[in-house]
Structure 1
Amino acid sequence: MVYVGDFLSVDDLLFRPVHSLIDQSLHSRLGVETTNGDGFGIGWYGEGTIPAVFKDTDPAWNNPNLREIARQIRTPLLFAHIRASTGTPVQRSNCHPFRHGRWLWMHNGAIARFAELKRDLMLVVDASLYPEIEGSTDSEALFYLALTYGLTEDPPGAVARAVGLVEDLGRRHGIPHPVQMTVATTDGESLWIFRYSSERHTRSLYYSTDVVQLRELYPELEVLRELGDATRFVVSEPLRDLQGLWNEVPESSWGVIGPGRQEIRPLSPLPPG
């Protein structure tokens, strides 16, 4: 889940919605795994440009420290992630979101047969970035490949090249559908989202409708009056069932979502170069 808008309590964002991320960690409706208990993480922006990160290997529904700090944090931009391991160890360094300088990154999906591709992928990561890699996941590897290909200057192009590299190596190793991903990344100012899979059957991803429009549709809903005009959410699963609230990100697409901004474009892998 991503929240962008006015300063808001993390407790309200994580625990208050009907189908909150905490509820989804136990009862996912659309995910491949119905239970996501292999750790969690949140990343948020407050003072300065470098985001703070809090991650743990406990299930999100059973971590008292998360509830304690969530009551005290107010932020205009929150990344929150619950993890179901696809084979790598359950450890803090493998929990999302991942951070590089002012950037945050989180990923839902997998690189198929990652263990077979890992060495070739890691050799592509820029030597100056490689020492920052703390964990062993395909998600973090994808982040550092995107950084290598210029994420901080051209997010769509960098992700397209990272995907192109994985698909190229996948073909060489006889892996028919190597990429499955929904991704969110931010520098604290803009938010980019991506939905793509090699088999063109990608896990779900949604963004919320402009709050001003929603208030016109549902003037009786108090929660909409509490949200600022700039509010936007990006989620793997809707936080509540409300017609007109959620828009599915199209298959094979990238987008920029934020206050007063909504741009969705096709995503095609690029040769890594």
Structure 2
Amino acid sequence: MCRWAAYSGADVFLEDIISIPAHSLIAQSQKAAECKTATNGDGFGIAWYGQRPEPGLYRDVYPAWSDCNLRALVRQVKSGLFLAHVRASTGSATSRNNCHPFTAGRWSFMHNGQVGGFEKFRRHADMCIPDELYEHRKGATDSEVLFLLALQQGLDADPKTALERAVARMEALSRARGATPHMRLSVAMSDGERLYAARYSSDSVAPSVYYRWSSSMGGWAVVSEPLEQTGEAWNELKPGAFLTLTGDGAEIEPFQPFLE
């Protein structure tokens, strides 16, 4: 299982989330506390928004804790909206194209979890991606397919419904051709204006998600694991919930994947 963290609010240095906190994302890449594997060393990535509509993207296959370029980058770059991810592969190769976040146009997307038995139906999943989006299929992960299916289902118009439909389609493929657990998911994604997160599972084990407002940074953080235990309290996002974070606050809605 992977670990991820995202932020939306006033401009901060990326290191304020990724490397400085006691249980920062880099710390979690070596010693995560709330997942099966404590080590998440199969690559990392950052998508951040600045002066252009589309995000910048930096990904590599090195463990996050050992990459000096990552620490130098996050120390210098400021952003008011960014996503960061450290990867523990569930089967696909360790390659830059398989590292999260994934981007297409103004959207960025990252995922922790699994679609059960994906390798048994990867070709069928790829065939669900429409021609106009297939150019964005760079890697071999279930997460990238999920992202592209959400774009197909109307991510621009209705992010929650689009993600629900995409998750339902992948879960249906897993039930027909894959293996249990059919779907375990925590997702963070952004269009450059809002930050969204979701937590869901087809069984009783949903990957952890927490969020809080930080008065010191002036923004929202949403994470796989709390970055520290001091300051404002962390709120747990319950399984089956969809979170929207904006300057106006946090909105939580039911997340109920369905097939039309």
| TM-score interval for Structure 1 and Structure 2 normalised by the shorter chain | over 0.9
Residue 123 of structure 1 is matched in structure 2 by 127
* 1:170 shift after superposition: 2.4
Q: 1:195 aligns with which of 195, 199, 218?
A: 199
Residue 105 of structure 1 is matched in structure 2 by 109
Q: Quick check: 1:76 aligned with 2:80?
A: yes
Q: Quick check: 1:34 aligned with 2:38?
A: yes
* 1:31 shift after superposition: 1.5
Contact (CA 8 Å) 1:2, 1:234: kept in 2 or not?
yes
Residue 164 of structure 1 is matched in structure 2 by 168
* 1:117 shift after superposition: 2.0
* 1:176 shift after superposition: 4.2
Stretches of structure 1 that go unaligned for 5 or more consecutive residues are 213-223
Contact (CA 8 Å) 1:30, 1:237: kept in 2 or not?
yes
* 1:16 shift after superposition: 1.0
Aligned residues: 256
Letter aligned with residue 193 of structure 1: A
Listed one character per residue, the Cα deviations across residues 48-80 of structure 1 (whole Å, up to 9, x for unaligned) are: 111100000000000011112222211101111
* Matches of 1:179 and 1:19, distance apart in 2: 27
Stretches of structure 2 that go unaligned for 5 or more consecutive residues are none
Counterpart secondary structure, 1:183: strand
Contact (CA 8 Å) 1:97, 1:106: kept in 2 or not?
yes
Residue 22 of structure 1 is matched in structure 2 by 26
* Matches of 1:176 and 1:5, distance apart in 2: 38
Residue 145 of structure 2 is matched in structure 1 by 141
Task: Judge which range, 92-101 or 151-160, deviates more.
Answer: 151-160
Letter aligned with residue 266 of structure 1: P
Q: Quick check: 1:89 aligned with 2:93?
A: yes
* Matches of 2:234 and 2:247, distance apart in 1: 16
Letter aligned with residue 112 of structure 2: N
Residue 262 of structure 1 is matched in structure 2 by 250
Q: 1:249 aligns with which of 224, 232, 237?
A: 237
Listed one character per residue, the Cα deviations across residues 32-53 of structure 1 (whole Å, up to 9, x for unaligned) are: 2100000000110111111100
* 1:243 shift after superposition: 7.3
Residue 216 of structure 1 is matched in structure 2 by none
* Matches of 1:170 and 1:86, distance apart in 2: 15
Residue 217 of structure 1 is matched in structure 2 by none
TM-score by length of 1: 0.90
Structure 1 residues 174, 10: closer, same or farther in 2, change over 3 A?
closer
Structure 1 residues 266, 121: closer, same or farther in 2, change over 3 A?
same
Letter aligned with residue 258 of structure 2: L
* 1:150 shift after superposition: 1.1
Residue 233 of structure 1 is matched in structure 2 by 221
Contact (CA 8 Å) 2:117, 2:178: kept in 1 or not?
no
TM-score by length of 2: 0.94
* Matches of 1:121 and 1:100, distance apart in 2: 18
* Matches of 2:105 and 2:167, distance apart in 1: 22
* Matches of 2:14 and 2:173, distance apart in 1: 40
Counterpart secondary structure, 2:132: coil
Percentage of pairs with the same residue: 41
Contact (CA 8 Å) 2:120, 2:178: kept in 1 or not?
no
* Matches of 2:9 and 2:180, distance apart in 1: 40
Residue 14 of structure 2 is matched in structure 1 by 10
Letter aligned with residue 255 of structure 1: L
Counterpart secondary structure, 1:129: helix
Contact (CA 8 Å) 2:118, 2:174: kept in 1 or not?
no
Contact (CA 8 Å) 1:200, 1:252: kept in 2 or not?
no
